[in-house]
Amino acid sequence: MSCGCKTSGDSGHSCGTKSANGCESVNTCGNSYKLSVFDWLSNVQNPASNRCDFVEVRFKNDRKSFYKNVNNIPLHIGSVVTVESSPGHDVGVVSLTGELVKIQMKKKRFSEEGSYKIYRLANQKDLEIWQEARNKEENVKIEARKISYRIGLEMKITDVEYQGDASKVTFYYTADNRIDFRVLIKELAGTFRTKIDMKQIGFRQEAAKIGGIGSCGRELCCSTWLTDFRSVNTNVARYQQLSINPQKLAGQCGKLKCCLNYELDSYLDSLSHFPPSSTMLDTEKGRAFCIKIDVFKKKMWFAYVDSSMAWYDFDIDLVKKLIAGNKRGEKAPPLEDLKQTSEISRPSVDLIQENSVDRFEKKSRSSNKNRSQGQNSNQNRPANSNQGPRKPRIENGNNSRPEKTEKPENTNTKLRAQKQNQPKQQAQGQGQGQNQAQVEKNNTGAEAENKPQNPAKKKFKKKFPPKKDNKDSNA
Q: Are 331 and 284 in contact (CB under 8 A)?
A: yes
Q: φ, ψ for residue 339 (rounded to 5)?
A: -65, -40
- Rg of the chain over Cα atoms, rounded to whole angstroms, equals 47
- Cis peptide preceding 275, ω within 30 of 0: no
**pLDDT grade for 340, boundaries at 50, 70 and 90:** confident
* 28 has a pLDDT exceeding 90: no
Q: Check residue 195 and give its pLDDT.
A: 93
pTM: 0.57
* 198 has a pLDDT exceeding 90: yes
**pLDDT grade for 359, boundaries at 50, 70 and 90:** low
Range name among 1-15, 51-65, 224-238 with the lowest pLDDT average: 1-15
Look over the chain and give the mean of its residue pLDDT values, rounded to a whole number: 75
Q: What's the CA angle centered on 376, arms 372 and 379, to 5 degrees?
A: 140
| Dihedral angle computed from the Cα positions of residues 353, 356, 360 and 362, in that order, rounded to the nearest 10 degrees | -130
Q: φ, ψ for residue 294 (rounded to 5)?
A: -115, 110
Q: φ, ψ for residue 157 (rounded to 5)?
A: -85, 115
* 197 has a pLDDT exceeding 80: yes
CB-based burial, 174-196: b 16+ in 10 Å, e otherwise: beeeeeebeebeebbeeebebeb
CA 280/CA 61 separation, integer angstroms: 54
Q: How many CA atoms lie within 13 A of 169 on its CB side?
A: 25
